[in-house]
Amino acid sequence: MRQQQPIRLTRRGRVVLFTFLLGVAGGLASLAAAPGQAADPPGPAPTVIVQPGDTLWGIATRHSGRQGRDATVEDIRRLNHLDGYSIDAGQRLILPRTR
């Protein structure tokens, strides 16, 4: 029976293997660093009760995240099935989730 020789890596092979393992470890660390960013956080959507004098633009300015006021106004309209831009005091509005 022939005895197998141990695997010997050249310097270049060790560098390639180390670089590959470092890349895999970096990829796993980047996935673990930001859990839940792909999905909305659990729980009910944020809401607001419209106060006298409130406007969609005022509410959007207070609650807009990175996307800005105008996009937030359109998201509020879409989430609440609003045809126009008028809202009434006491009305409950669903707000978009901010990230």
SS (H, E, C) 68-86: CHHHHHHHHHHHCCCCCCC
Q: Is the pTM of this model over 0.85?
A: no
In the chain, the number of structural domains is: 1
Q: What percent of the chain has a predicted confidence (pLDDT) above 70?
A: 86
Question: Token digits for 5?
Answer: 């020789």
In a domain, 11, yes or no: no
Read off the pLDDT of residues 56-91 as tens digits, 9 standing for 90 and up: 999 999 988 777 889 999 999 999 999 999 999 999
Q: Which residues of 44-76 are buried (b: 16+ CB within 10 A; e: fewer)?
A: eeeeeebeeebebeebbeebbeeeebeebbebb
> Which domain covers residue 83, as residue numbers?
47-94
CATH number at residue 78: 3.10.350
